[in-house]
Amino acid sequence: MAIIFTVINNKGGTGKTTTVLNLGAALTRKKKKVLLIDLDSQCNLTSALGLESGGKGIGDLLLGNCSIQDVIIKIGNLHAIPSTERLLDIEFQLNNEPGREYMLREQLEKVSDKYDYIIIDCPPSLNTLSTNSLVAAHYFIVPMQAENFAFIGLDRIMTISEKVKKRMNPGLQIAGILFVKLDHRTKFSHAVISNLSENPNFKGKLFNTYIRQDISLMESAAFKQTIFDYAPKSRGAEDFKDFANELIKRYGQK
């Protein structure tokens, strides 16, 4: 059965899509079967994978207009479910459905035995779609930058996740906070990491791996490639390889 991770932060530009794309690629390099899901109407993951956002995708699946097999696309060693720019309108329709928070989980249960890992890219808001991802997931990952205002929204994420855990998904846990776009040279980044690591609410919940600043990570997505295809010897490739190793060590699928 797949271990399901959702990558979530209600602040934009925190590296969610970059994390989902390259973590998924790193896991496939370790012979893991991986399904990526784009749950964001901006379709950034869909675009980075070189997929079209105009066809059937996650929205059609959640509305019950197609089967999950109809929307899974194979890209190299990865499998993915694309998003659509119509997803905001679709979310409005979902809000009128009973049990709307469980729709993604119900669909993923049909294919969970086919994968080792399922990784969900969330929108930069704590909406119905993000709640769906938390209800479906075993763990959530919070990517953050070690910069001013880095903590904005973190308390909100933890509050929402606790409510989801209490009311809908008792097994939900935080996998960890992943620092991305990290510049080790700044004192401020060290101060942010230190303050968070000393917070008793996050004891043991900071990943040891940091994703360092690397222009190759931004360029690779623009060229619709993973970091391992675009710049296999880059810092970004090294960091995501290390992150995949840490994730496997912490959360199973040896």
> How confident is the model over 187-205, as a mean pLDDT?
81
Looking at residue 132, its pLDDT comes to 97
How do 78-81 and 73-75 pair as beta strands? antiparallel
Looking at residue 150, its pLDDT comes to 61
Looking at residue 236, its pLDDT comes to 96
Say which residue, 175 or 155, is predicted with more confidence: 175
Looking at residue 179, its pLDDT comes to 92
> How confident is the model over 23-47, as a mean pLDDT?
96
Of the candidates 85, 131, 86, 127, which has an alpha carbon nearest to the alpha carbon of residue 105? Answer: 131
Digit-coded pLDDT (tens) for 131-163: 999 999 999 999 998 766 666 678 889 999 999
Digit-coded pLDDT (tens) for 44-66: 999 999 998 778 899 999 999 99
**DSSP structure class, residue 37:** E
Give the domain range for residue 149: 3-251
In this prediction, residue 76 has a pLDDT band, given cuts at 50, 70 and 90, of very high
Tokens 């904005």 sit on residue: 152
Q: Is the pLDDT of residue 189 over 90?
A: no
The residues pairing with 121 across neighbouring beta strands, listed in sequence order, are 7, 38
Looking at residue 148, its pLDDT comes to 62
Residue 4 DSSP SS3? strand
> How confident is the model over 108-135, as a mean pLDDT?
96
CATH number, domain containing residue 60 = 3.40.50.300
DSSP string, 112-178: GGG-SEEEEE--SS-SHHHHHHHHH-SEEEEEEESSTTTTTTHHHHHHHHHHHHHHT-TT-EEEEEE
- Report the percentage of the chain scoring pLDDT > 90: 73
Looking at residue 110, its pLDDT comes to 97
Of the candidates 178, 185, 183, 140, which has an alpha carbon nearest to the alpha carbon of residue 158? Answer: 140
Q: What is the mean pLDDT of the chain?
A: 92
Based on the structure, what is the number of domains in the chain? 1
Most confident of 5-14, 29-38, 46-55: 29-38
> How confident is the model over 103-128, as a mean pLDDT?
96
Digit-coded pLDDT (tens) for 206-229: 999 999 999 999 999 999 999 999
